[in-house]
Amino acid sequence: CFAESNDHICSVTKDSCSLNDYVPAKLLIKGGIVVNADRQEIADVYIEDGIIKSVERNIKAFDEIQVIDASGYYVMPGGIDPHTHLAMPFMGQVTIDDFFSGQAAALAGGTTMHIDFALPSDGDLLEGYKLYREKASIACMDYGFHMAVTKWNDKVSKDMEVLVKHEGINSFKFFMAYKGSLMVTDEELLQGLKKCKKLGALAQVHAENGDAVAEGQIQMIELGITGPEGHGFSRPPILEGEATSRAIRLAGFVNTPLYVVHVMSIEALEEIIRARQSGQRVIGEPVISGLALDDSLLFDPDFDVAAKYVMSPPIRPAGHNIALQNALSSGLLQLVGTDHCAFNSTQKAAGKGDFRKIPNGVNGIEERMHILWNIMVNTGKMTPMGYVRVTSTACAQIFNIYPRKGAIIAGADADIILLNPNTTFTISSKTHHSRIDTNIYEGWTLRGKIETTISRGRIVWENGKLNVSPGSGRFIPLPPYSYLFNGIDKIDSDYLASIRASKQQKK
């Protein structure tokens, strides 16, 4: 390991645990409905030193143990958000939530870990990664990173290797949109897919046809449509479907697993379903805004209201969200992210008079768990077990940290939430914990409230109060070769054998 050569910070070989700044209490959560992705039972959960020690009925409480009465509560693994953008420079702005404010908001909303997207610095992956690790020094909960790849050359290829082998990165995002800034060409994507496969890293795509989006934007401006509604018109679902299909087929050609981030449309969904039906390993991640909302507020005559909803791919007309919900409940989509990319109203105002300059992104890190419970569990579309799967377990499995994360079982990290299914509350930017001055769910009244959040055995959210400190969060290295890579080599060798056989036949 050349970590010590100072050109990168090695996280895998060093002990990355910053758990040492406090001693978590011994906790006993009594009598709750303990929900895992594969079972639901009434049980007690005993926690020591930040780790779940046992999950059983009738665990005896000793004197020094703090007991939480959880009867009537759902006791579930803390949420893991696979898709966030904290302190990210983007479209001439920097997202308003940093690694402290964004994570504090997450904890108040029942999310105990997230995976953020580190961007390269002037195309340099290691530099960019280092910068993000520094930004995260104020973290107050567990986090990991994906790394974006925005161009291709030998250095990028080598840096990917360093990041996987030494830095706890096991996924790389390729933008097929944002022409002129983050977008990669097909050639670059293809090289990236090959490299991901070689490293056992998961390739992720932002799937929109960036060339066509640029064309669509010019069209809208020529038509005199300059407000936020032009955003949706300029990048219709067909462009998301096209790019999703292209990425899937290229990943199929390379025979490497693919993860499609922020699936927003039926067109993209259909491509994912088709690929999965043919046996291809494709993961589809809808985000909470795409599941819960339609595009109606993008047409609000008040710019400040409409601009809140500008994100890419766009929030689609009614119907797409219902299709995504149904796909999630039937397992056709696997996990839910937020794409939390918060810009406040003054930042959004940069695009007054030209929707192309509205920084893209919406809030969600604090709201995901509650909104999803309401639209999926309260409506009967999903069981609590299914909810745990899509908010926590699947993410831990896909990013190869299960069952340390994503389960309430002995030996797992004590990241736990207590949800009271009967409490109602109303979302407002006046009371939320994110730094953003607006909320795309403003005024939504929800039933089911996460009243307690436990992060590594420590109660960080209780009675409407946060108890967090900057620097207490811990970086979680994500190892390569998740289950998605099992058997890939067998498919390769069968494929080569079939080519040889058909060549032989044709001789």
Residues that bind ligand URP (CB under 6 A): 85, 206, 262, 311-312, 339, 341, 360-361
**Measured between alpha carbons, how far is 220 from 235 in angstroms, rounded to an integer?**
10
**Nearest CB to ligand URP, comparing residues 68 and 264:** 264
Pairing of strands 258-260, 282-284: parallel
**Nearest CB to ligand URP, comparing residues 360 and 392:** 360
**Nearest CB to ligand URP, comparing residues 245 and 312:** 312
Smallest distance from the beta carbon of 312 to ligand URP, in angstroms? Answer: 4
The one of ligand URP, Zn ion, none whose footprint includes residue 308, by CB under 5 to 8 A per kind, is none
Smallest distance from the beta carbon of 243 to ligand URP, in angstroms? Answer: 12
Query: Judged by CB under 5 A, does residue 126 bind Zn ion?
Result: no
**Nearest CB to Zn ion, comparing residues 53 and 133:** 133
**Measured between alpha carbons, how far is 278 from 334 in angstroms, rounded to an integer?**
17
- Residues 6+ away with beta carbon under 8 Å from 280: 248, 251, 252, 258
Smallest distance from the beta carbon of 203 to ligand URP, in angstroms? Answer: 15
Query: Judged by CB under 5 A, does residue 67 bind Zn ion?
Result: no
Range in contact with Zn ion (rule: CB under 5 A) among 129-137, 203-211, 302-310, 448-456: 203-211
**Measured between alpha carbons, how far is 283 from 272 in angstroms, rounded to an integer?**
8
Q: Which residue has the tokens 């509350």?
A: 425
Question: Which CA distances in Å does 385 have to 38, 76, 367, 406, 454?
Answer: 7, 9, 19, 12, 19
Query: Judged by CB under 5 A, does residue 223 bind Zn ion?
Result: no
Query: Judged by CB under 5 A, does residue 339 bind Zn ion?
Result: yes
The one of Zn ion, ligand URP, none whose footprint includes residue 360, by CB under 5 to 8 A per kind, is ligand URP
**Measured between alpha carbons, how far is 479 from 471 in angstroms, rounded to an integer?**
23
The one of ligand URP, Zn ion, none whose footprint includes residue 10, by CB under 5 to 8 A per kind, is Zn ion
Query: Judged by CB under 5 A, does residue 1 bind Zn ion?
Result: yes
Query: Judged by CB under 5 A, does residue 10 bind Zn ion?
Result: yes
**Nearest CB to ligand URP, comparing residues 133 and 262:** 262
Structure tokens at 352: 């007054």
Q: How many residues bind Zn ion (CB under 5 A)?
A: 6
**Measured between alpha carbons, how far is 220 from 231 in angstroms, rounded to an integer?**
9
Smallest distance from the beta carbon of 77 to ligand URP, in angstroms? Answer: 25
* Binder of Zn ion out of 26, 114, 195, 206 (CB under 5 A): 206
Least Cα distance to 96 among 475, 350, 437, 338 occurs for 437
The one of ligand URP, Zn ion, none whose footprint includes residue 1, by CB under 5 to 8 A per kind, is Zn ion
Give the residue nearest to ligand URP (CB): 360
Smallest distance from the beta carbon of 351 to Zn ion, in angstroms? Answer: 18
**Nearest CB to Zn ion, comparing residues 116 and 413:** 116
Please state the separation of Cα 204 from the chain's center in Å.
11
The one of Zn ion, ligand URP, none whose footprint includes residue 24, by CB under 5 to 8 A per kind, is none
Least Cα distance to 474 among 413, 408, 395, 398 occurs for 413
Smallest distance from the beta carbon of 190 to ligand URP, in angstroms? Answer: 21
**Sequence letter at residue 272:** I
The one of ligand URP, Zn ion, none whose footprint includes residue 238, by CB under 5 to 8 A per kind, is none
The one of Zn ion, ligand URP, none whose footprint includes residue 311, by CB under 5 to 8 A per kind, is ligand URP
* Binder of Zn ion out of 53, 146, 166, 281 (CB under 5 A): 166
- Residues 6+ away with beta carbon under 8 Å from 276: 282, 332
Smallest distance from the beta carbon of 206 to ligand URP, in angstroms? Answer: 5
**Nearest CB to Zn ion, comparing residues 37 and 261:** 261
**Measured between alpha carbons, how far is 407 from 402 in angstroms, rounded to an integer?**
8
Range in contact with Zn ion (rule: CB under 5 A) among 57-65, 338-346, 414-422, 480-488: 338-346
**Nearest CB to ligand URP, comparing residues 268 and 311:** 311
Phi, psi of 17 (to 5 degrees): -85, 120
β strands within 238-307, DSSP E: 258-260, 282-284
Which pairs count as long-range contacts for 190-196, CB under 8 Å and 24+ apart, including other chains?
A: 190/250, 190/253, 190/254, 191/152, 191/157, 192/149, 192/152, 193/250, 193/251, 193/254, 193/256, 193/258, 194/254, 194/256, 195/157, 195/160, 195/161, 196/160, 196/172, 196/256
* Angle at which helices 210-222 and 237-254 cross, to 10°: 170
Q: Which residues bind Zn ion (CB under 5 A)?
A: 1, 3, 10, 166, 206, 339
